[in-house]
Amino acid sequence: MIMIGINFKTIYLNSLLGLKNGICFLIPANAKSCMVLEIPNRKNHKSQKKYPYSMNNQQLEEVTQEKDLGILISNDLKVSQQCQSACTKAMRILGIINRTIVFRHPDIMLRLYKSLVRPHLEYSTAAWSRHYCKDKELIERVQRRFTRMIPDLKDLPYEQRLAKTKLWSLEDRRTRADLIKVYKIIHGLSAVRFSTFFELSHNERTRGHSLKLHKKRVMTDLRQHFFLDRIVNKWNTLSEDIVSASSLNSFKGKLQRLHNDGSSTGFFKSA
């Protein structure tokens, strides 16, 4: 268990154990397996006072980063460590494929890459999408290496290798994944409530489709790259025909056609 927050009080942590309102968990929480990841206020983090946190009269360990549901969360909310971890896992599997696969037909290599390598780079990207160029390049390096492993393509430029294998750049796929998540939330296909993240725009003076989202004001660089803020402009740029697709598969197909026309529309921007 990981506790994230600022200025928690011991009474609040105790309430998590079920000591409040007589509510008890079926499995008691173990204080030894719990830790605190404190996210400081960026404006005065140097002078901010640190508080000890305890549970059942036992002080909890403080950490600067921790893995939760397979994602590394750091106290500065940056995703560089998660990018490095995902890249390391993917490169390790690519190395195994490179050493063990002798007959490298493109179809076989693509099946191996899509099933064994790429999932490590795309797991829950809505929660840790990278925005620094160094992180984008680090992740894209995996796919660059893979496309060079196909004998007939290794001497071609990366863009031509993508075209030959019909692969999207990983940055384009992250944009696609964000748009699919928004579609699911808006059309009730996700467990996440629409009102939790978004609200419809009521500005009728601008062009666009009927499901345009309200763009909220953000004050920090990190916040503008969070899922609910970074995807609004992309979603609002889509056409009415795409956002009102009758099914999820139809929406994905229309995104595919939009990507194929990316050179003319400029919607998808590759790394």
Over residues 2-12, the pLDDT tens digits come to 444 444 444 44
What mean pLDDT do residues 147-153 have? Answer: 93
User: Which distant-in-sequence residues (6+ apart) come within 8 Å of 134 by Cβ?
Assistant: 80
Higher pLDDT, 195 or 267: 195
What local confidence, expressed as pLDDT, does residue 166 receive?
Answer: 92
153, 161 in Cβ contact below 8 A?
Answer: yes
Q: Is residue 69 part of a domain?
A: no
Q: What is the pTM of this model?
A: 0.78
Handedness of CA 175, 181, 186, 189 (dihedral sign): positive
Q: Which domain holds residue 197?
A: 177-265
Domain stops at, among 146, 168, 190: 168
* Beta-bridge partners for 74: 65
189 and 150 in one domain? no
Number of domains into which the chain is organized: 3
Over residues 102-142, the pLDDT tens digits come to 999 999 999 999 999 999 999 988 888 778 889 899 999 99
Cα–Cα distance list, 129 to 23, 63, 186 (Å): 37, 22, 20
- Per-residue pLDDT band for 84 (boundaries 50, 70, 90) equals very high
108 and 90 in one domain? yes
What local confidence, expressed as pLDDT, does residue 184 receive?
Answer: 93
- What does the block give as tokens for 266? 């400029």
255 and 200 in one domain? yes
User: Comparing C-alpha atoms, which of 138, 148, 128, 129 is closest to residue 72?
Assistant: 128
131 and 109 in one domain? yes
Q: Is residue 31 part of a domain?
A: yes
Cα–Cα distance list, 107 to 100, 111, 142, 150, 260 (Å): 16, 6, 18, 10, 21
What local confidence, expressed as pLDDT, does residue 77 receive?
Answer: 81
Percent of the chain at pLDDT > 90 equals 38
